[in-house]
Amino acid sequence: MKAQMLLLTGVITAPFVTVNAPQLGLPPLRPISQAQVQLGQAIFFSPSASADARISCASCHDPQQAFADGRPVARGVQGLLGTRNSPSLKNAAWTQPLMWDGRRATLEDQVMHPFTTAREHGMTSTAQAIEALNSDPAVQRVAQRALNEMEVKTALTAFITSLARGNSAFDRMMYAGQAGALTPEQKRGFELFKKTGCIACHATQAGYATFTDGQYHYTHQLSVIAPLDLAARLKQARQIQPADLDEVVTQQPELAVLGRFLVTQDKHDIGAMKTPSLRDAARTAPYFHDGSTQTLDAAVRQELAYRSAQTGAPITLDDQEIQAIVRFIESLNSGN
């Protein structure tokens, strides 16, 4: 909210990152326009395109919270709560498809939907949202003209794409040859991260590291749902039209927990959620799709328990080893 107010009063005038600057540890960005990024930033921080004129994109993706919001689940107009945790938008260009269930293939597909989702911005139509943005002095100081839907979409996509953040301590060690960039404890944590199989889902690639495999994995939450109840939920989910998914996911937790299944209707995707990137994860508590885990230490322990259950081979680490993995994840915080 502080960053939003600074923008509205004219204090913030430059993008949050130098446009098209290489980011150590990340793939090259596709070229984007400085002007588009600045316009997208103005739109991103504008609360005008919300039903109560209080919610902006930055309400759930606050730069002071690593472009997440620090809450268990998203909070939209009139304080209405969604069902899922707001992920960081840092490096969103490299974590497509988007959303916990992957229902949006690209940023371009996603950026306009929050305006008309009832528990997010709550506008009645995209046209209403565009009209509100065109009446916002902060947006118009940058735009200098009435915007259409494609221009808003393009600008928001450019701004979010510009939020590439690399140059972490891990990147400096791995990709710049700075052996001393990680502490001995962090290096030990990285070895344990690999040894325990965490890297299978939070993957690195040749020459860069997104720390996600882009895949969907069962979260074990469904194990507490009675079989008959689950069958009823699946039957209901099969009736959902794709155009209604945003409203279902944000308003019905009993269906949102079905995860990727809501998108694919594939039984193998029941309860599966997308692997989040671990970049800046130390700054984006609470964790998991429902924000149910408050600390990184607890999240590591929970993930190790899940992996033990999946493989049938218990993973036993002592407290110091757990802390070493936590310290390693802290080394993934962006340096710029």
For the stretch 152-201, pLDDT in tens is 999 999 999 999 999 999 999 999 999 999 999 999 999 999 999 999 99
Set out the domains of the chain in order of their start, with CATH numbers.
Answer: 2-161 (1.10.760.10), 169-215+275-330 (1.10.760.10), 218-273 (no CATH)
Distance of alpha carbon 68 from alpha carbon 90, whole angstroms:
9
- The answer to whether 57 is annotated as binding is yes
Phi, psi of 274 (to 5 degrees): -70, 145
CA angle, corner 91, sides to 86 and 96, nearest 5?
75
pLDDT for 298 equals 97
- What separation in angstroms does the CA of 256 have from each of 99, 234, 237? 12, 11, 9
pLDDT for 7 equals 45
Distance of alpha carbon 190 from alpha carbon 208, whole angstroms:
16
- The answer to whether 121 is annotated as binding is no
- The answer to whether 202 is annotated as binding is yes
- The answer to whether 217 is annotated as binding is no
pLDDT by residue (tens digit) across 91-132?
999 899 999 999 999 999 999 999 999 999 999 999 999 999
Distance of alpha carbon 98 from alpha carbon 92, whole angstroms:
8
